[in-house]
Amino acid sequence: MRLILQKFGGTSLNSDKLRARAARFVQQKINDNFQPIVVVSAIGREDEPYSTDTLLKIALTEFPTLENREKDLLLSCGEIISAVIMTQTLRRFGIDAIALNGTQAGILTSSEFGSAKVKKIYPEKILKLLQKKKVPIIAGFQGISEESEITTLGRGGSDTTACALAAALQAESIEIFSDVEGLQTADPKIISNTDLIENCDYTELVELANKGAKIVHPRAVEIAENAKIPVLLRSISTGKIGSIIHTVKHDKPVTGITSKKNVFHVLIRKSTSGKEMNIFRFLAEEGISVDLIDIREKEISFIIEKEWQKKTENILSKKKFQFLFRNDFVKISVVGKGMTGQPGIMAQIVQSLQKEKIDLFECTDSHTTISCLIPKEKEKIALATLHKTFIEENK
C-alpha cells in the first residue's frame, strides 16, 4: 500500500465549500493510487461554533474551576465533530470514509491532561480499514491513556497526531493543508515583503515554530524528522505545495525571522541565603520551561510563556521570593542552519537593532538560532530591519 497522511486544519474545514475542496484533494490522492489517511482539527477558530476555544469558553464562563479531566473530555469533542462532518462530506463525493476518535485510532498517550504525549500507536484497526479500501477520518489532538482516560495533546496537537500516525503507518509523506500558502521568511501580517521558503530543513522549522512561527507544531516536525517523512505544506485554496520540510543542505546563514509576543520577564531578587537559585528546580518539577536565563550577583531573571505565568507566580509567592513580572517585552529570533560556525551574525543583529535605537535586554544563541529580548513596541521595526539585513539584502 502507498500511504499518505493528509491533515486539514480548522480553517480549512469551516464551510461547505472548503470541505468540498478538501474532499477533492483526498480524491486526487486516491486517483494517484495512494491510500489516504485523514486527520482533522476542530472546525474554525475562536468564537466560531465548534472551535476548541469556543467549547472551552462555554464551560469556563459558568464553571471557571473546570477539572482537567472533564476539560479534556470537552475539548476532544471539537475534533470528533469535525471527523464526522468530514466523513459525511467524503461519502457525498462517493468516497468510502469512516470517522474515528483518537481511542479508536489506537493512539495511546501519557496521563497529563491538556498536554499528553503520544506514547505508542496501535495501527491495526486503521490497517484493516485500509485493506477494505476505506478512508479513515481521524479526530486529531486526542488519545487515550493507560488509565483509559481521554487526553488531549495541547496546542498543535492535530499536527502531532498526523505525524505520529504517519510514522507508525510508514506513510510516504504528510500533507498539511491550511489557509496560508506555506512557510514565509517572516510573519506576512507584520512584514509585507516576505518570501516563501520552498525548502526548509526539519531543524529550522522546529526552531522557527518554537520561537513563534505558528505554521506547524515543533513536536510534530521532530516526529516526522525521526521517521524521515517529508512534510508538505499545502494551501487549501489552491492545493499548491508552498513549502517542503525535509533534510536540506544549504549555506544560507539565515532562513527566517520570527517573534514571540506572549512572554513574561521574571526578575527575582537574591537574598543572602541564595535560596532563590532553587527556582529552576521548582519550575522544572512543575514542567515549566524557562528561557533567556541571566544570573547576576543580586538577581536572577528569565522569561516564561504566558500560559505559565499564574503557576510561576504561585510558586514564587509560596517560596516567599521577592519578584517582579513584566510583559512589555517580545522575543525576536533569527533562525538558520547555515549560521553554524559562521562568525559575525550576532554583530550584524546588534548593529541593525542599534541603528534603529532598539535596546537589547537579553540574548541567547544556539547552533541555528539567535534570540533577543526587546521592547514590545519595537517588534515590527526590529523584524523589518532584521529581515532586510538577512533576507532582502542576501537574495
CA distances from 326 to 41, 93, 297, 371 (A): 34, 53, 21, 18
pLDDT tens over the chain, length 395 residues: 899 999 999 999 999 999 999 999 999 999 999 999 999 999 987 777 778 888 888 888 888 888 999 999 999 999 999 999 999 999 999 999 999 999 999 999 999 999 899 999 999 999 999 999 999 999 999 999 999 999 999 888 999 999 999 999 999 999 999 988 899 999 998 998 899 999 999 999 999 998 888 889 999 999 999 999 999 999 999 999 999 999 998 778 899 999 998 899 999 999 988 899 999 999 999 889 999 999 999 999 999 999 899 999 999 999 999 999 999 999 999 999 888 777 889 999 999 999 999 999 989 888 899 999 999 999 999 999 999 999 998 77
Number of Cβ atoms within 10 Å of the Cβ of 30? 15
**Whose CA is closest to 331, among 292, 358, 385?**
292
* DSSP 8-state secondary structure symbol assigned to residue 136: E
C-alpha cell at position 225: 524528522
Angstrom distances, CA of residue 304 to CA of 214, 260, 288, 291, 331: 18, 11, 8, 6, 11
C-beta separation of 172 from 178 below 8 A:
no
- pTM, two decimals, is 0.90
Q: What is the pLDDT of residue 245?
A: 96
What pLDDT sits at residue 155? 83
Residue 147, all three cell numbers = 488509565
Which domains occur in the chain, in start order? 3-179 (3.40.1160.10)
- Closest CA relative to residue 86, chosen from 20, 30, 131: 20
User: Count of alpha carbons within 13 Å of 336, Cβ hemisphere only?
Assistant: 23
Residue 247 has which C-alpha cell?
A: 533534510
Can you give the pLDDT at residue 45? 75
Q: What is the DSSP string of 247-284?
A: ------S--EEEEE-SEEEEEEE--TT-GGGGHHHHHH
Pairing state of beta strands 256-260 and 329-335? Answer: antiparallel
Cα dihedral 157/161/167/170 (nearest 10): -150
Q: What is the pLDDT of residue 50?
A: 76
- Distance, in Å, from the CA atom of 195 to the CA atom of 55, rounded to the nearest integer, reads 36
Contact criterion met (CB below 8 Å) for 372 and 360:
yes
For 185-234, write each residue's pLDDT tens digit. Answer: 999 989 988 999 999 999 999 999 988 888 899 999 999 999 999 999 99
- CA 129 to chain centroid: 29
Rounded distance between C-alpha atoms, residue 372 and residue 205, angstroms? 19
